């Protein structure tokens, strides 16, 4: 690609033709502040925080959208530029609820950080009328507080462009503008799928998950309750960021230690039920192939994807695997098999999950998720909520020793841990399905064709003389593209994995929030995914069907995959929903 040379603050910088001033400045290690900008998602130049001076321009320009040209001279730090940014920030704060101490984002708020950097304090904002605001708490997983919204439109962009849903947008005009759903509907009345990607990109505390921390702590304090916890694969790859560890640090051992010190009676691993999911899902896939069942079969682990399918592709709900997600399978087994082995009544067990996903909060309330007459899972906390809980009870996370999960529901394989990244469920299922169909050990367990952060991946494998075509999609916009090709006959597959969030659970709506600068310059998804692939590689057991705890579960309790008992506990049903609401 052709490079051109410009000057930034008197320094010559060579950058690819077509770059913006913002991109060119980063090549010179000059960071221009932004608020609304998200690379390839929200490039609208709306917030005006990123303004710079350009020689010959009549006014300051937004560096995030202004293209460079050969010989251009740019200044990013003149008094005029700094005063403009400060004035813009003061105006934003004049219409902002400034209760920072009680805000969940305090200390991790991009607006707060900019105020500190630009010298905007409590004495330097403008008083005046504020936009009327209300809190929308109609959704199961989150609420919106527009008094903290800065109208950056990141949430709108990710909902529409990345996820292809578009249930929120800018309503009214001018000073009365606010972010909400059409016709003043609550978010819970729309076809929102609870993915939480809007929360993940929000720079302030305007969007938050509904916290259940206090409910869990109350249950732990109740001597009549036996409180157990499960942790999803992706949580160990993200939790450390909340305590200052570099992105891509595996904190599995410290996480187990922290949960034990919080007071959970047993600390288990969702990897156990991820292996269980593979056993049931692989059996279901083989059954569909051999008995001319509905194909392609599509995975059912991601609750955001499931609700999306119910709303936007209701005619394809028959393609969904009937398997519950690993979270729900774990809950069902905990309140049946584990309850019987431990001599505890199911109603006395409080089942808690730690998930990278806000849609799990919706999933626990779905119908057909109470196999034992009580909810499979009682509370689902995000990775962020776990970090807040650890801090709330005074545990010094960084000094904790590494500890193991409890038996028997704490044993998982390498196949299970890669569930947390796009392509991981497919790869895990293939390891078991191929060996089951061929009766022979695979020479290599790495199905690299389905790895990586591409939005859509395709592969074909020869299994026992049959060509098996598979596809993987992550992010619901990519899911829509893939399924439209299937419906039109343009594409033909046997098995499809879909994850609701781009990159899979490692990038779930409940994972630690990173500021725009990091999201725009660091491949967060790849770094977190590496944690899981490394864990798989180093695990002595890498196939779900070789997990000894899973073998014992089938030998002593379930019988075999797909049995009547397994179907009652581990499988579910779906509904066809309206595209206009629930």
- What is the tens place of the pLDDT at every residue in 233-249? 999 999 999 999 999 99
Spatial distance between the Cα atoms of 72 and 254, rounded to a whole number of angstroms: 51
Mean pLDDT of 302-324: 98
pLDDT digits 0-9 by tens, 174-219: 989 999 999 989 999 999 999 999 999 999 999 999 999 999 999 9
- CA-nearest of 83, 77, 76, 88 to 20 is 76
**Which residues are CB-neighbours of 290 under 8 A, at least 6 positions away?**
none
Could you tell me which residue, 578 or 390, shows the higher pLDDT?
A: 390
Q: Please give the backbone phi and psi of residue 348, each rounded to the nearest 5 degrees, phi first.
A: -95, -5
Give the CA-trace dihedral at 123, 125, 130, 135, to 10 degrees. Answer: -80
Judged against a pLDDT cut of 80, whether residue 388 lies above it is answered with: yes
Euclidean distance between CA atoms 213 and 369, whole angstroms:
22
pLDDT tens digit string along 268-290?
Answer: 999 999 999 999 999 999 999 99
List the domains of the chain with CATH numbers: 3-77 (3.10.20.740), 102-207 (3.30.70.20), 213-570 (3.40.50.1780)
Tens of pLDDT, residues 545-556: 999 999 999 999
Say which residues have a Cβ less than 8 Å from residue 355's Cβ, sequence separation at least 6: 232, 235, 327, 380, 381, 382, 383, 505, 508, 510
pLDDT at residue 532 tops 80: yes
Per-residue b or e along 552-568, where b marks 16 or more CB atoms closer than 10 Å to that residue's CB? ebbeebbeebbbeebbe
DSSP string, 44-76: ---S-TTEEEETT-SS-EETTTPBP-TT-EEES
Q: Does residue 582 register a pLDDT over 70?
A: no
What average pLDDT does the structure give for the chain? 96
| pLDDT grade for 121, boundaries at 50, 70 and 90 | confident
φ, ψ of residue 21 to 5 degrees: the values are -60, -40
Cα–Cα distance between 36 and 153 in angstroms, integer? 7
pLDDT of residue 122: 73
3-state DSSP call for residue 346?
Answer: helix
Q: Which of 13, 95, 21, 115 is nearest to 62 (CA)?
A: 21
Residue 132 has pLDDT above 80, yes or no: no
Listed in sequence order, the DSSP H helices in 263-380 are: 270-290, 303-312, 326-333, 339-342, 359-363
Contact 27, 13 (CB under 8 A): yes
* pLDDT score at 135: 93
CB under 8 Å to 377, separation ≥6 — which residues? 327, 328, 330, 331, 351, 352, 353, 360, 364, 369
Neighbour tally for 521: CB within 10 Å: 12
pLDDT band of residue 131 (cuts 50, 70, 90) is confident
Average pLDDT estimate for 475-493: 97
pLDDT over 70 for what percent of the chain? 99
pLDDT value at 581 more than 70: no
In this prediction, residues 112-141 reach a mean pLDDT of 88
Q: What is the pLDDT, as a whole number, of residue 1?
A: 76
> In which band, very low, low, confident or very high, does the pLDDT at 345 lie, cut at 50, 70 and 90?
very high
Query: Which pLDDT band, with edges at 50, 70 and 90, does 220 fall under?
Result: very high
Mean pLDDT check: name the lowest of 21-35, 120-134, 424-438: 120-134
pLDDT per position as a tens digit, 443-481: 999 999 999 999 999 999 998 889 999 999 999 999 999
Residues 6+ apart with CB under 8 A from 568: 371
The answer to whether the beta carbons of residues 201 and 155 sit under 8 Å apart is yes
Write the pLDDT tens digit of every residue in 397-447: 999 999 999 999 999 999 999 999 999 999 999 999 999 999 999 999 999
- Average the pLDDT over 125-147 and give the result: 90
């Amino acid at each position: 690609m052709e490079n051109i040379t410009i000057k930034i603050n008197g320094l010559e910088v060579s950058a690819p033709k077509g770059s913006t001033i913002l991109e060119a400045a980063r090549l010179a290690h000059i960071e221009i502040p932004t608020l609304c900008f998200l690379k390839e998602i929200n490039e609208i130049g709306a917030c005006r925080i990123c303004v710079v001076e350009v020689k010959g321009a009549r006014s300051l320009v937004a560096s995030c959208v202004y293209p460079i040209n050969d010989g251009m001279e740019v200044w990013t730090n003149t008094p005029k530029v700094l005063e403009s940014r400060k004035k813009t920030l003061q105006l934003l704060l004049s219409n902002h609820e400034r209760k920072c101490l009680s805000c969940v984002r305090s200390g991790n708020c991009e607006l707060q950080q900019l105020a500190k950097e630009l010298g905007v304090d409590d004495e330097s904002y403008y008083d005046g009328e504020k936009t009327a605001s209300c809190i929308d708490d109609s959704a199961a997983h989150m609420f919106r507080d527009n008094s903290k919204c800065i109208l950056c439109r990141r949430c709108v962009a990710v909902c529409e462009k990345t996820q292809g849903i578009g249930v929120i947008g800018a309503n009214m005009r001018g000073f009365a503008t606010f972010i909400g759903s059409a016709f003043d509907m609550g978010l819970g009345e729309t076809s929102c799928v609870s993915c939480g990607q809007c929360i993940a990109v929000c720079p302030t505390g305007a969007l938050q998950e509904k916290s259940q921390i206090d409910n869990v702590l109350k249950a732990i304090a109740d001597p009549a309750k036996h409180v157990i916890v499960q942790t999803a694969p992706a949580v160990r790859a993200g939790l450390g960021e909340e305590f200052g560890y570099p992105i891509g640090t595996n904190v599995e051992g410290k996480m187990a230690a922290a949960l034990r010190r919080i007071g959970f009676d047993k600390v288990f691993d969702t990897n156990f039920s991820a292996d269980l999911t593979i056993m049931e899902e692989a059996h279901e896939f083989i059954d569909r192939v051999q008995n001319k069942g509905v194909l392609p079969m599509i995975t059912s682990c991601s609750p955001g994807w499931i609700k999306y399918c119910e709303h936007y592709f209701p005619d394809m709900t028959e393609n969904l695997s009937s398997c519950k997600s690993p979270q729900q399978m774990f809950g069902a087994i905990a309140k049946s098999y584990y309850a019987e082995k431990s001599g505890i009544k199911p109603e006395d067990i409080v089942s808690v999950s730690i998930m990278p996903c806000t849609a799990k909060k919706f999933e626990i309330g779905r119908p057909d998720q109470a196999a034992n007459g009580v909810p499979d899972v009682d509370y689902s906390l995000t990775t962020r909520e776990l970090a807040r809980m650890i801090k709330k009870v005074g545990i010094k996370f960084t000094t904790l020793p590494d500890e193991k999960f409890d038996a028997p529901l704490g044993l998982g394989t390498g196949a299970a841990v890669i569930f947390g990244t796009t392509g991981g469920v497919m790869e895990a299922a293939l390891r078991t399905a191929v060996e089951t169909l061929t009766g022979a050990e695979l020479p290599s367990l790495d199905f690299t064709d389905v790895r990586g952060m591409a939005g859509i991946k395709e592969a074909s494998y020869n299994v026992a003389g049959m060509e098996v075509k598979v596809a993987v999609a992550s992010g619901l916009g990519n899911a829509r593209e893939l399924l439209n090709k299937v419906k039109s006959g343009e594409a033909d597959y046997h098995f499809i994995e879909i994850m609701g969030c781009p990159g899979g659970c490692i990038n779930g709506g409940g994972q630690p929030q990173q500021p725009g600068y990091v999201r725009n310059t660091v491949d967060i998804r790849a770094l977190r995914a590496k944690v899981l692939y490394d864990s798989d590689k180093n695990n002595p057991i890498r196939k779900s069907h070789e997990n000894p705890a899973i073998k014992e579960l089938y030998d002593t309790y379930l019988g075999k995959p797909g049995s009547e008992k397994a179907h009652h506990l581990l499988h579910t049903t779906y509904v066809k929903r309206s595209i206009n609401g629930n």
